Amino acid sequence: MKEMIYGSDNSRKIYPIDVDTYNGYTYAILNFYGNHPCCYVKLPSKHRLAKVALENYDELEINCHGGITYAEDHLNLVRRFDSIEDKWINILTDYSGVWIGWDYAHCDDYMYDSYFNREPMEWEHKWTYEELVSDVFDVINQIVEGDENGDEIG
């Protein structure tokens, strides 16, 4: 089962929770150092939102947790360590396109800290895989709806 695992055993790496395709768009859900998750969606290089994303992603009218905080023409963080081969391997083979992303490291989000090693406070949300993938699907659905309606900016 896919899961966002918070904790110190993941404190020195970024690893994929999920990399897949939904509604024609590739997405990646990553665990950053066991501290918090981040989600990404790949736009084709010629997509109507690609240039806008790279120039000023704040102009994208995409609703997601905390808003879009990442837009680059690459995503080089999607790899994992293969203990059998004793080497890092890439999960994605196609890095082309423009990746947009958002994080779950805001004031009401639970972020693991090995120094304090504590459970979430009552106001902090500890994200599950199901919630993360639901957010990704929602973002992709917004993009697809804009594609179908011919929207200029999301």
What pLDDT does 123 receive? 77
pTM of the complete model = 0.84
pLDDT tens digits, the chain, 154 residues: what are they?
688 888 866 556 777 888 899 999 999 998 887 888 999 999 998 999 999 999 999 999 999 999 999 998 877 665 555 555 555 556 655 567 899 999 998 889 877 776 666 676 777 788 899 999 999 999 999 999 988 887 655 4
Per the CB < 8 A criterion, the answer to whether 73 and 117 are in contact is no
Question: Domain limits of the chain?
Answer: 8-149
What pLDDT does 65 receive? 95
What pLDDT does 107 receive? 86
What pLDDT does 154 receive? 46
Residue with tokens 């697809």: 144
